Structure 1
Amino acid sequence: MPTVPISARHDLTNAEWDLLQPPLPAASPTGRPRIWGLRSLVNGIFFRVRTGCPWRDVPERYGPWWRVYHLFVRLRADGVWQDVHTRLLAQDQHTGQLSWEVSVDFTTTLGTYGSGHNRTAPPGAVIIFDVQLQGYSSLLSGGRARQTPSLQWY
């Protein structure tokens, strides 16, 4: 079994790269050739999203931080991350690896007005807590990987 350097253990495998590469922009036939490979820059994006570190702390082995950031912004503006997300969901659903079952633990998701979280809700309203870990979805929104609770009342 080949050993992978500890710093590269979360980089894209060849199979993952083959799935991800088609919607990514191809190199321009005219103009200056790329200095940094697209795969290493994408690995840098995934490193930043996975760790939540500042862009300037992306390791140099992925390329300059500003190149990684520029590619991330460009792909987000072009809708590539949304396309990748849709393609992966479709593929997983087609192969039967995606389950749409939802499990809800009401002891942690339901509260009442008196629970002290939202004092502007009307009396007697039920407050719904929606806490999601935004790891991969932060690619789509550009945010950091973190838990963000949102409160709604009905």
Structure 2
Amino acid sequence: MLSDEQWAVLEPLVEACRPIGKTPPQDLRRTLSAILRRHRNGTKWRAIPAELGPRWRAAQVFMR
């Protein structure tokens, strides 16, 4: 999971890149944690733990 310090750095960068008028993503911090965990460990999307949210959401956000 992203620490508070890491999220404080990433959140403004993510918000600056989001299209205007787009619906805010649900629990983006948790989704980004899932994406980072997958890439750090080199695992498959289906190996993401449930506490990091639905794996389909992490995969979808990553592909976008």
Fold agreement, TM-score > 0.5:
yes
Match of 2:2, SS state, is coil
Spell out the pairing of 1:135-154 with structure 2 (5 A cutoff): none
Aligned residues: 59
Identity of aligned residues (%): 36
Spell out the pairing of 1:2-21 with structure 2 (5 A cutoff): 11-21=1-11
Larger radius of gyration: 1
Give the letter aligned to residue 28 of structure 1: T
How far apart are 1:28 and its partner, in Å? Answer: 2.0
Deviations 1:72-106 (A, max 9, x none): 111xxxxxxxxxxxxxxxxxxxxxxxxxxxxxxxx
Structure with more of its chain in helix, by fraction: 2
Structure with more of its chain in strand, by fraction: 1
Runs of 4+ in 1 over 4 A off after TM superposition: none
Is 1:40 equivalent to 2:40 in the alignment? no
Provide the C-alpha distance between the structure 2 equivalents of 1:28 and 1:22, rounded to a whole number of angstroms.
Answer: 16
Considering Cα pairs closer than 8 Å and 6+ residues apart, tell me whether 1 or 2 has the greater RCO: 2
Spell out the pairing of 1:94-105 with structure 2 (5 A cutoff): none
Which residue is equivalent to 1:55? 45
Give the alignment's TM-score, normalised by structure 2.
0.78
Provide the C-alpha distance between the structure 2 equivalents of 1:68 and 1:20, rounded to a whole number of angstroms.
Answer: 16
| Gapped regions of structure 1 (runs ≥ 5) | 1-10, 75-154
| Gapped regions of structure 2 (runs ≥ 5) | none
Q: Equivalent of 2:23, from 24, 28, 31?
A: 28
Give the alignment's TM-score, normalised by structure 1.
0.35
